[in-house]
Structure 1
Amino acid sequence: MSDDFEMDWQRDARTGVPEAVLCGHKSMAQIEAIVAMAHAGGKRLLLTRLDEAGFAALGGETGKLLDYDPLSRTAVLGGGVPLAATGVGIVAAGTSDLPVAREAARALAFCGHESPIIADVGVAGLWRLTSRLEEIRRFRVVIAVAGMEGALFSVLAGLAAAPVIAVPASVGYGVAAGGRVALDAALASCSPGIVTVNIDNGFGAAAAAIKMLGMRERAPASL
């Protein structure tokens, strides 16, 4: 317990998704204190939005405790867990969308879910997507990451039976800058079966996928 923070270690048992530490608006001293407390208690911990400069600024002992991935800006304390092929897959429109896709994949892996990433299959070269459709259609849940005009969301939802979790990415320029066009496209899609999280929210998409899979496991045998 600290005056600055109080961790919710029961969140996983309560909701099915563990608490993650958003590092983007925390001081290095706060992050170091959180990691130290978790390490002392033998807890695993996922940290998000920890950029390379922030990771480098952490104390040496703190950095040694973390498995850091610069692309996704995530770090894991406490090592990994065995991964199970539970049926979630990630589809990224372009190579530029990989940081968000990797954030989702790292969050899923932290919780024990294997999540293959199918990248660079945006609609500008539709043949790249259609050549991977058989593989995509095997997923029980699809996380789709796209910036620019976000057309991938509608196309996937119109071709695959799995629910599509749309993650608008802040990849684009001009009117598409910041991911707002992709967000609006996801929300306004005429393809049924799309649910949408906030711009660049790979962790939120992973949490939604875990809850979808968990609801199926917890479904009653009869109503």
Structure 2
Amino acid sequence: MPDSLRQILTAIAQGELSVETAYRQLQYLSYEPIGDFARIDHQRQHRTGFPEVIWGPGKTPQQLAEILERMRPHYPCVMATRISPEVFEAVRSRLGGLHYFEKAQICSTAPILPPQFPRQVGLVCAGTADLPVAEEAAVTLQLSGFSVERFWDVGVAGLHRLLSVRDRLEEMAVLIVVAGMEGALPSVVAGLVSVPVIAVPTSIGYGANFAGLAALLTMLNSCAPGIGVVNIDNGFGAAMLAAKILRSLSQRL
């Protein structure tokens, strides 16, 4: 990633950067074009706290490899989401040194390292079929330096499973609750704990589930306060919201 304008000017003033090198970096200060198919938003991390993450669907393995290769020297970790095993193998054949998290369908340029932020995010998943979305959230957070504890298969059909981990849920800084079917789990969780709850509806369910619409509407209509709802199957979006909450808290402590 090209440095910020302040860093570039400081480096020139200290004789650490030539005018010609600075000029080349300034050309891509806002974005860097790659061929005729991508423009890397290098300033996103400065604006939002997190670098750009690559959306996998719709891109060819060659395009994904080129974007990852161009971004890798400038960021500790570059992520691409919704990458199938077949696509990952095709990308890896073009670019080495990649890591793959199959359940989450995330490809990254770095492994999961010890967390940089001490406060934990709890990932609460209703059923095994919801795991891909929950793992997308969990791995996104871990690759971003956050600590995660997983609470899998604690749906409302067996409420005793959820109640058995209630004390641990209360210890989390933020909870991400993932559920399909009727989507009732976030409401139940939010009625039991005092921490913020981010609800993620999934497309898992029978016909009247309408590919997650029923779960989405349930979560939006929850009578339990303190719930924020993201889009259907959007584990990544939930992770980014939780990360921003935690980063904001850490900057104010």
Q: Does 1:117 pair with 2:153?
A: no
Q: Distance in 1 between matches of 2:118 and 2:84?
A: 29
Match of 1:191 among 214, 220, 224: 224
Residue 109 (structure 2) pairs with residue 77 (structure 1): yes
User: Structure 2: which amino acid aligns with 1:183?
Assistant: L
| 1:1-223 mapped onto 2 (5 Å cutoff) | 1-2=33-34, 3-41=36-74, 44-62=77-95, 64-83=96-115, 84-219=117-252
Q: Give, in angstroms, the shift of residue 79 of structure 1.
A: 3.4
- 8 Å Cα contact 1:17/1:210 also seen in 2: no
C-alpha RMSD over aligned residues: 1.7
1:85 CA displacement: 3.2
Q: Does the CA-based 8 Å contact 1:144-1:167 persist in structure 2? A: yes
Tell me the distance in 2 between the aligned counterparts of 1:199 and 1:35: 27
Give 1:82 deviation, angstroms: 2.4
CA distance in structure 2 between the aligned counterparts of 1:161 and 1:168, rounded to whole angstroms: 21
Residue correspondences, number: 219
User: Deviations 1:159-212 (Å, cap 9, x if unpaired)?
Assistant: 010110001011111111411111011101010000000111111001000111
Q: Cα deviation per residue 1:35-63 (whole Å; 9 max; x = unaligned)?
A: 2212355652011010122112325142x
Q: State the TM-score, normalizing by the size of structure 1.
A: 0.92
Q: Which has the larger radius of gyration?
A: 2
**Corresponding residue for residue 19 of structure 2:** none
Q: For residues 215 and 51 of structure 1, what CA distance do their matches in structure 2 show?
A: 33
Separation in structure 2 between the aligned mates of residue 19 and residue 184 of structure 1, nearest angstrom? 30
The letter for the 2-side match of 1:145 is: V
Secondary structure (helix, strand or coil) at the match of 2:171 reads coil
- Report the Cα distance in structure 2 between the residues aligned to 1:126 and 1:80, rounded to whole angstroms: 32
C-alpha contact 1:38 1:44 (8 A) present in aligned 2: no
Work out which structure has the larger RCO, using CA pairs closer than 8 Å and 6 or more positions apart in sequence.
Answer: 1
Q: Please give the alpha-carbon distance, in whole angstroms, between the structure 2 residues aligned to 1:153 and 1:201.
A: 15
Structure 2 runs not aligned, ≥5 long: 1-32
Aligned to 2:16: none
Residue deviations 1:59-103, cap 9 Å, x none?
5142x3211011111011133432143221110001111111110
Structure 2 distance, partners of 1:56, 1:177, is: 33
Over the matched positions of the two proteins, sequence identity in percent amounts to: 42
Q: Cα gap change, 1:140/1:40 in structure 2, threshold over 3 Å: closer, same or farther?
A: closer
